[in-house]
Amino acid sequence: MEKTIEFKIRVPEIDRWEDTPIYRSKTLTGTAEEIEKDAVEIAEGIAFSQSSDVRWNYEGDTQGHYVDEIFPDLPYVIRDVRLLLLPYPDQAEATAN
């Protein structure tokens, strides 16, 4: 299966997602579950890198899927293409005792 996904970034001056320009389109292949998983991961990456809410939908479909903005205020490590938020060292020591 092949689907084109449209990603949009929240624009404060525009009230409706339908009126927001497409930030990026990407054609994904795989099963429906794999495509959805990949779309969510891409949307999360955009939300993190742009510090903004992201809406994604299948091309030609008005049903939107949303990812909230991501503002990590904790140190993080990227491992296996996953983002892991780590506690501050003083918090880690307190929880270890």
Would you say residue 85 lies in a domain? no
- Is residue 7 a contact partner of residue 46, using CB atoms and an 8 Å limit? yes
Would you say residue 35 lies in a domain? yes
* Winning range, highest mean pLDDT, from 3-7, 20-24, 60-64: 3-7
- Is residue 28 a contact partner of residue 35, using CB atoms and an 8 Å limit? yes
> How large a percentage of the chain has pLDDT more than 90?
43
Would you say residue 31 lies in a domain? yes
> Dihedral (C-alpha) 67, 36, 24, 42: value to the nearest 10 degrees?
60
pLDDT at 89: 58
Would you say residue 59 lies in a domain? yes
Would you say residue 13 lies in a domain? yes
Task: Look over the chain and give the mean of its residue pLDDT values, rounded to a whole number.
Answer: 80
The pTM score is: 0.68
Closest alpha carbon to 59 in 31, 87, 22, 96: 22
Q: How many domains does the chain have?
A: 1
Q: Which helix (H) or strand (E) holds 69?
A: none
pLDDT at 92: 47
pLDDT at 87: 58
Model confidence at 90, in pLDDT bands (50, 70, 90)? Answer: low
Q: Which domain holds residue 49?
A: 2-71
Would you say residue 61 lies in a domain? yes
Q: Which helix (H) or strand (E) holds 96?
A: helix 89-96
Say yes or no to pLDDT of 50 above 80. Answer: yes
